[in-house]
Structure 1
Amino acid sequence: MTQTPPAKQQRRERVVRLLNLLAYVEKHPESTIMEMAVDLGLEPGQIRDDLNMLHLSGVGKHGGQMIDLNHDWTNVQIIDNQGLDKPLRLTPTEANALLLLLESLETMPGLVDPATVASAARKIRAVTTGGAVGDARHTGDAATAALIKEAITKRKQLELTYYSLTSDQTRTLEVDPVDTFHHDGQTYLRAWDDGTLKSYRFDRIRQALLIDAPLATQHPQAPALDQADPFGGFDSQLAQLRVRRDATWLADYWDLELDPDELADPSVQWVRATLPYGNGDWLIRFCLGQADRVVLDQPQELADALRHRAGAALRVLG
């Protein structure tokens, strides 16, 4: 009689299977679900269940941090793999914390396989430089990071080809770099862009070129970086929204501030909320994506633009 593996083992096996499936699809983009099932030794229904699970997985809990894919019986398209087709990269804090834990386990015989623990510790020490993993290795291309460092040191302008998640566009811009900082596992560049201080995530910089021109002199002194709130120095605006009561879970994923009085009153079906935003087009796309559970009240011009775009979409569909 075949015994069913314990739940913890089943979860581990599924995580491995999901990551293998993601890598398989990246390497075999034209494969059908039936072909995947044959190659991987799985049932077609299991492949579809795993693809559905992948679509609900990601490297974080916020918008833009989830795996995005489309699939049917004839095709699987990976739109955004969130970098999970590449080897895991730890931040310095994560690497040292993991190394400390492994060293503790090495002194506790009988709890785990000592050879496995020692092997893992050796691998982490091998990529550790001066007691910590080099920061430049974690986000973005190493050559890009070196070029940005050079621009900051020599006080030169940069030309960036940058993908913006807020506008869902890739554009080329010239910036005056200020400094870099790390936050939540990502590395950012602070730079002046047309008189406005902005931040640029390293892994969204598609290309960086050093411009043989000095920094503009009319910029004010950049505010000191607050490590606890590194984005506090950037301009943001507040949108006034109403969120359907059964969708107030959105506040767990976006920076929505729900009205506490209305939230406590079960008779209120649409709870007022505020949402900071930096780009009007992003706000419109956010509201369109949540059209059945979010109503935009202010700013009025964006609410009007939202109704216009929604009406245009309905006319095309109708």
Structure 2
Amino acid sequence: MAGPKPQPFQARDKLAFLLALVPYLMDHDRVTVTEAAEHFAVEPEQIRDAVNLIAVSGLPGETSAYQHDDLFDIDWDAFENDDEIVLTNRVAIDDSPRFSAREASALIMGLQYLSALPEYADRASIASLIAKLSRGTSGAVAPVSVGGAESLESLTPSLALIRESVDKGLQLEFDYLNARGERERRRVDALQIESIDADWYLRGWCHLREAVRTFRLDRISGAVVTDAAIEHRASDVRLPALFEGSPDDLEVVIDVEASAMPLLADFIPDGARSTPDGGRIRTTLRVSHYHGLKRLIASMPGVVTVIAPEAARAAVAEWAAAGAERYR
């Protein structure tokens, strides 16, 4: 059964359509009316009307009067005889500001990063946009790549399975080593991949905990894609901040310089007791694992001292000793 017939454009819609059609025609040296109509999901006659309007559009020159070179022009023989659209003169758009090579390189790197994430993997639109950025700059774009994105699969063997789980809409099952050194079998609906520095995390709905949980990819092993369909998607649940507190968090008592307290605000739970002692304050942090605690303490040398528990003190001491050893 044929779909509903496209309705005539309103004035605002017609302008938006023309603004989209001109770049499309510029990206395609030669395109048929039928191909353009299918691309924009409109009737071929609407494409022909738009092309006729483009042909009398332009930008007046210094005399404020339109000359031939101030208007768009098309190959009328191809248009009238073969129903093909070929722009032979382009106005104003060729002179519009373009991304510099450096700006385009930065955008391309960001797109490469996105293409490494399961929810964006194999998106043809990303590859198309990268190609357009490479062509549409004011200078040559240097070959660039995001090291973290390219090395992600080699660093995390489970990534391919996570992608497969997302693509097929099936639950993912794996062994997970938690912050306490305990290994549990988890079954999750994979929702999103995120990274902080060199660490990568899977956000997923955990069927064991019946809530959204965060899993470090390097702590995942034995992953398999199950036959069970996922029950939750990223659009269906609220994804908390990456390090938002959870009942599984670890509590750590620290002494910190009073002036540095604002730097730790995100890690201090509501209602935590803070006791001043001279110029320092004793308070409690909540962290998801001691690996994150090590990084946090290392970023504030001499400002923060871990008091308890002993496992937290040992983790930080080992981290510091390993770092000092590298300088010998």
The answer to whether TM tops 0.5 is no
Q: Per chain length, whose mean CA-contact separation is higher, i.e. which structure has more relative contact order (CA < 8 Å, sep 6+)?
A: 1
Interval containing the TM-score (normalised by the shorter chain): 0.3 to 0.5
Larger Rg: 2
TM-score (norm 1): 0.36
